[in-house]
Structure 1
């Protein structure tokens, strides 16, 4: 699913009005009706007080449309205009006149804290104060209104985006915005829904189709894309009947040190479980017996050193190398990695201590083959690209880093983001149970194993991250968040593949029971 920028959304609105021969007011009516329908289906006429807070721009116009339809359908509606400026949009004014023609109970004007209405915990708030066009902080009394929403603990539904949230930067203060329980986003989700600093402002979100021109939606290239099952299915490569292990490549996993051999076990098993034809593990001598015992499917090469990697030497040509897991950053290991990188031309996936060594000696980054995959967690990312002021600055720095060194950068997190060639690929699978030791090692093995099967580095990253997260989602169904460990994710990778082709379950309808004639 594409994530359109603010500018692209405006362009789509204008193009739709032109091609469908409708006014911007009619498009606003269409959007407002979609919000109303969403509420109407769920409320079924319930007389819970609904407080609709409208700004004086187009987002406020959407809110007035919603309020008008709620009123005409007999709901208990209280409409307010948040009078924060002298400027009003044309479509806001049109809908303000329409709602005055609909009810004798005109919208109440709010201009200061003394005007705030009483809101109870069981009420509903519809937030239509600010939309995606916001470019400066709200007035102080408007911030107090947002705090009033939060204090009430009423269910808060935001239209398009929580008010006070920008589309291209983080708010200066978390109290400057609406904290929504649910956000209904027009046509496309917003990037802010997936970033650590701003995703907290809406607990859930949903996209509503408001009929934006289909050709525009299909043809427009976006900077960010949301990755789900439909996006990864075309990436999947089915196996041929007469295939053999040589067709699916030979992965080499390099890493480990005394006390950290388990990371190589996890990565090597993941590479096999995701479909690599052959896997060889390169580790210190102390890991030989462990690896041969725990993972008999893997071949093993050992360093001459008993406890750490000191010289990376092997006598075959792997299709891809995953390195860094559990490797440590001893001076001897750093020297060994530097020597290896100077002579290596094989595709690489680098994680953990491999990244930490690159951070210590950034000149080594120039030795990486093009489209090397780097998989940092936030702290490792900071060491690579430097500190950032907010998540948008982080993405910009990550993109610049990716372009400079021609690498695929995987930013691990709740929504892992893959950065490459001016684009962001945002993952939708995974859960909080993955915040446990070893899950990153499994991801390294997954991406390495996919590259060995012939997937290019970007496809392997996007597909691998999806499968990795889906495996974790499957595993928690049996063990829950707290008890999830990396080995369970490894064990569920096969089920993640199978899930790609599962059809959604249809709800069962009970047959109507009829009495037999007497």
Structure 2
């Protein structure tokens, strides 16, 4: 699903109005009616108190449409106008007249004394600010947002939580609506998926408001949300007459004394993701462990007992995954440098291999084009430098990806694949996956997919999805706290099977708090 910028959304509105020969007011009516229908289908006439807070521009106009439909359907509604400006939009004014036509006069909020009583059993509809906000709320409006948050009432935000910017992090965290649910028009917003802004949108859903499909199809989006619908076409079916050699030979390099488990997890995940042959390159101390735990894979041991000191092998792998549990011993760093100077095989680089690279960034120039790097936040900072906020992080990550011609996977609640200026945001995973070894499994999955013939970018996008889906399926059995990396690996097969199972409901929604991979 495409994720559009503010400018693209405005362009989509304009294109729709012109092509469909409708007025901006008619488009506003569509948007407000879509939100009303969502509420009405769930409330079914329940007489809970509904407070609709409107701004004085187009988002406030949407709120007035919602309030009018709720009123005409018999709900217990009170509409309010956050009177923060004399600059009213024409469609807001039109809908202000329309709500008066149904005998409801919204209350204007000019100061704290105008704030209504909100019980925690009530419902709040937030339509104060929309996607055009570019500075912090001030004065009475800022206090109103803080007041709404303190009410503990269920809060539904229209399009975006008021106080959030589309392209930046709010300066004052207290003046942003903390929405229980966000109904985003037509498509989700990037801010729903970043740690510093996603916390304000607990859950979201995209509502179809009839923006013209021609524009939505043709517009080049800088980011895409990746879910089952997006990855299913990536899947490569197996040929009846194939054999293990058809699906490549993966070499997994990793492990050190006390960290052989990381090499084990990545090697097993590589095999379970479909790699035809897997060889694990480990220090001597891990030989019996790996051979006993994984009889399906082959093992090459380094001459060193407790760490890898010389990466030397006589096989011709299709792809190499390197880093899980490898450590940062001086001899290991030297071995990695020597290896990179000679290697031409596609790479997936993780964990301490990334830390070695971050200490000697000249080595990054030795990586083959389209190498996949899979850092967690700490490793990412060591690679690209400190950032001031999530948007600065993405800017630096894009520049890094372009400079070295690499694919960068930023691991997190919504893992983001960065390929130059394009972002692919994963929509699977859960907080239980914040556990030791989870990243090692992900490295193995991506390596195994490249081994099978998936292009590195596709392998990274698809692999990240499978990893998160495996975690989602496993956590049903274990719960968040008890989920382990081993169980994530055990459910890789279930994640594949799930690709071809029909969803019970095609709702475009996701719980932000249940994503952490």
Q: Counterpart in 1 of 2:89?
A: 89
**Offset of residue 421 of structure 1:** 3.0
* Distance of 1:150 and 1:264 partners within structure 2: 46
**Offset of residue 437 of structure 1:** 0.6
Q: Structure 1 length as normaliser, TM-score? A: 0.97
2:246–2:276 CA contact under 8 A, matched in 1:
yes
Q: Counterpart in 2 of 1:202?
A: 201
* Distance of 1:43 and 1:238 partners within structure 2: 44
- Is 2:388 aligned against 1:389? yes
Q: Counterpart in 2 of 1:512?
A: none
Q: Counterpart in 1 of 2:313?
A: 314
Deviation string for 1:192-243 (max 9, x for gaps)?
A: 1111111110211111000000111111110110000010000000000000
SS of the residue corresponding to residue 59 of structure 1 reads: helix
* Distance of 2:75 and 2:305 partners within structure 1: 75
Q: Counterpart in 2 of 1:480?
A: 479
Deviation string for 1:271-298 (max 9, x for gaps)?
A: 1000101001111111111111111111
Deviation string for 1:125-155 (max 9, x for gaps)?
A: 1100000000011112211111111111111
Structure exhibiting the larger radius of gyration computed from Cα positions: 1
SS of the residue corresponding to residue 51 of structure 1 reads: strand
* Distance of 2:491 and 2:125 partners within structure 1: 41
Runs of 4+ more than 6 Å apart? none
**Offset of residue 506 of structure 1:** 8.3
* Distance of 2:45 and 2:255 partners within structure 1: 63
Q: Counterpart in 1 of 2:378?
A: 379
SS of the residue corresponding to residue 26 of structure 1 reads: helix
Q: Counterpart in 1 of 2:509?
A: none
Q: Counterpart in 1 of 2:511?
A: none
Q: Counterpart in 2 of 1:514?
A: none
Change in Cα spacing, 1:471 to 1:302, as seen in structure 2 (3 Å) is same
Q: Structure 2 length as normaliser, TM-score? A: 0.97
Structure 2, unpaired ranges of 5+: 507-517
* Distance of 2:293 and 2:44 partners within structure 1: 58
2:399–2:420 CA contact under 8 A, matched in 1:
no
* Distance of 1:368 and 1:438 partners within structure 2: 24
Q: Counterpart in 2 of 1:158?
A: 157
Q: Counterpart in 1 of 2:9?
A: 9
Deviation string for 1:36-75 (max 9, x for gaps)?
A: 1111111111221111111011000000111111111121
Q: Counterpart in 1 of 2:41?
A: 41
2:401–2:418 CA contact under 8 A, matched in 1:
yes
Structure 1, unpaired ranges of 5+: 508-518
Aligned-CA RMSD value: 1.0
* Distance of 2:160 and 2:150 partners within structure 1: 20
* Distance of 1:25 and 1:3 partners within structure 2: 24
* Distance of 2:229 and 2:96 partners within structure 1: 41
Change in Cα spacing, 1:463 to 1:22, as seen in structure 2 (3 Å) is same
SS of the residue corresponding to residue 180 of structure 1 reads: coil
* Distance of 2:292 and 2:39 partners within structure 1: 58
Change in Cα spacing, 1:79 to 1:505, as seen in structure 2 (3 Å) is closer
How many residue pairs match? The answer is 506
SS of the residue corresponding to residue 201 of structure 1 reads: coil
* Distance of 1:407 and 1:504 partners within structure 2: 34
